A = this chain, B = another copy of it.
Amino acid sequence: MNIAVDCADPYRLAMFWSQVLDLPVGGEDTPGDDEIGIRIGDGQELLFLKVPETKTVKNRLHLCLRPEIRRDEEVERLLAAGAAVVDDRRRPDGTGWAVLADPEGNEFCVLRSAEERAATS
Protein backbone atom coordinates (compact mmCIF):
# COMPACT_ATOMS: atom_id res chain seq x y z
CA MET A 1 0.00 0.00 0.00
CA ASN A 2 1.30 3.44 -0.93
CA ILE A 3 0.36 6.79 0.52
CA ALA A 4 0.04 9.44 -2.19
CA VAL A 5 0.34 13.14 -1.40
CA ASP A 6 -0.87 15.75 -3.87
CA CYS A 7 1.46 18.73 -3.99
CA ALA A 8 2.79 21.68 -5.96
CA ASP A 9 6.47 20.78 -5.69
CA PRO A 10 7.09 17.04 -5.25
CA TYR A 11 10.86 17.31 -4.90
CA ARG A 12 10.76 20.04 -2.27
CA LEU A 13 8.14 18.19 -0.25
CA ALA A 14 9.92 14.85 -0.60
CA MET A 15 13.14 16.43 0.65
CA PHE A 16 11.31 17.74 3.70
CA TRP A 17 9.68 14.38 4.45
CA SER A 18 12.99 12.63 3.89
CA GLN A 19 14.31 14.65 6.83
CA VAL A 20 11.19 14.01 8.91
CA LEU A 21 11.34 10.26 8.45
CA ASP A 22 15.11 9.99 8.14
CA LEU A 23 14.66 7.96 4.97
CA PRO A 24 16.16 8.65 1.54
CA VAL A 25 14.31 9.96 -1.50
CA GLY A 26 14.29 7.54 -4.45
CA GLY A 27 17.75 7.52 -6.02
CA GLU A 28 16.74 8.49 -9.55
CA ASP A 29 14.34 11.25 -8.59
CA THR A 30 15.38 14.80 -9.41
CA PRO A 31 13.96 18.31 -8.96
CA GLY A 32 11.24 18.87 -11.54
CA ASP A 33 9.94 15.30 -11.48
CA ASP A 34 6.15 15.04 -11.25
CA GLU A 35 6.29 11.99 -9.00
CA ILE A 36 8.82 11.38 -6.24
CA GLY A 37 8.81 8.57 -3.72
CA ILE A 38 10.23 7.67 -0.33
CA ARG A 39 10.25 4.00 0.52
CA ILE A 40 8.71 3.76 4.01
CA GLY A 41 8.42 -0.01 4.39
CA ASP A 42 8.20 -3.33 2.63
CA GLY A 43 6.20 -2.56 -0.53
CA GLN A 44 5.17 0.82 0.90
CA GLU A 45 5.99 4.16 -0.56
CA LEU A 46 5.16 7.73 0.40
CA LEU A 47 4.60 9.21 -3.03
CA PHE A 48 4.53 12.93 -3.83
CA LEU A 49 2.48 13.74 -6.93
CA LYS A 50 2.34 17.09 -8.69
CA VAL A 51 -1.19 18.44 -9.07
CA PRO A 52 -2.45 21.80 -10.36
CA GLU A 53 -4.82 22.57 -7.49
CA THR A 54 -3.62 24.04 -4.19
CA LYS A 55 -4.51 22.95 -0.69
CA THR A 56 -7.74 24.58 0.52
CA VAL A 57 -8.97 22.81 3.66
CA LYS A 58 -7.59 20.75 6.52
CA ASN A 59 -6.50 17.37 5.17
CA ARG A 60 -8.92 14.58 5.93
CA LEU A 61 -6.06 12.06 6.05
CA HIS A 62 -2.87 12.80 7.93
CA LEU A 63 0.23 11.04 9.21
CA CYS A 64 0.92 10.65 12.93
CA LEU A 65 4.53 10.19 13.93
CA ARG A 66 5.66 8.28 17.01
CA PRO A 67 9.26 9.55 17.37
CA GLU A 68 12.19 7.56 18.70
CA ILE A 69 13.43 10.63 20.58
CA ARG A 70 11.40 12.72 23.03
CA ARG A 71 8.32 14.39 21.54
CA ASP A 72 9.49 17.94 22.28
CA GLU A 73 12.96 17.33 20.83
CA GLU A 74 11.31 15.89 17.72
CA VAL A 75 9.09 18.97 17.41
CA GLU A 76 12.15 21.23 17.64
CA ARG A 77 13.97 19.15 15.03
CA LEU A 78 11.02 19.36 12.63
CA LEU A 79 10.55 23.10 13.11
CA ALA A 80 14.20 23.54 12.18
CA ALA A 81 13.58 21.40 9.07
CA GLY A 82 10.81 23.75 7.90
CA ALA A 83 7.64 22.60 9.66
CA ALA A 84 5.23 25.01 11.35
CA VAL A 85 3.05 24.55 14.44
CA VAL A 86 -0.64 24.36 13.59
CA ASP A 87 -2.17 23.27 16.87
CA ASP A 88 -0.24 22.62 20.06
CA ARG A 89 -2.10 19.97 22.05
CA ARG A 90 0.75 19.29 24.48
CA ARG A 91 -0.44 19.41 28.09
CA PRO A 92 1.43 20.59 31.19
CA ASP A 93 1.52 17.02 32.55
CA GLY A 94 3.57 15.89 29.54
CA THR A 95 0.78 14.09 27.70
CA GLY A 96 -0.77 15.24 24.42
CA TRP A 97 0.64 15.88 20.97
CA ALA A 98 1.58 18.63 18.54
CA VAL A 99 0.02 19.22 15.13
CA LEU A 100 2.57 20.54 12.68
CA ALA A 101 2.34 21.38 8.97
CA ASP A 102 4.82 20.57 6.22
CA PRO A 103 6.01 23.31 3.81
CA GLU A 104 2.80 22.97 1.75
CA GLY A 105 0.55 23.09 4.80
CA ASN A 106 -0.18 19.37 5.14
CA GLU A 107 -0.99 18.69 8.77
CA PHE A 108 0.73 15.89 10.68
CA CYS A 109 0.95 14.93 14.35
CA VAL A 110 3.92 14.31 16.59
CA LEU A 111 3.00 11.96 19.42
CA ARG A 112 5.03 11.07 22.49
CA SER A 113 7.76 8.49 22.10
CA ALA A 114 6.89 4.97 23.23
CA GLU A 115 9.12 5.55 26.24
CA GLU A 116 7.36 8.75 27.29
CA ARG A 117 4.00 7.09 26.81
CA ALA A 118 4.96 4.11 28.95
CA ALA A 119 6.18 6.43 31.71
CA THR A 120 2.84 8.21 32.14
CA SER A 121 0.16 5.69 31.22
- Output the least CB separation between A55 and chain B (Å): 6
- A40 contact set on B, CB distance < 8 A: 1
A interface size (C-beta, 8 A): 28
A2's partner among B7, B21, B60, B64 (CB-CB below 8 A) is: B64
What string of 1s and 0s marks CB contacts (under 8 Å) between A1-27 and chain B?
A: 111111100000000000001000000
Indicate if the CB atoms of A61 and B59 lie closer than 8 Å. Answer: yes
Indicate if the CB atoms of A66 and B43 lie closer than 8 Å. Answer: yes
CB nearest to A51 among chain B residues: B60
Indicate if the CB atoms of B1 and A64 lie closer than 8 Å. Answer: yes
With an 8 A cutoff between CB atoms, is A89 at the interface? Answer: no
Q: Cα distance A58–B60 when bound, in Å? A: 9
- A63 contact set on B, CB distance < 8 A: 1-4, 61
With an 8 A cutoff between CB atoms, is A86 at the interface? Answer: no
Given contacts A3-B3, A41-B41, A66-B2, contact A61 B106 (CB under 8 A): yes
Q: Cα distance A1–B44 when bound, in Å? A: 12
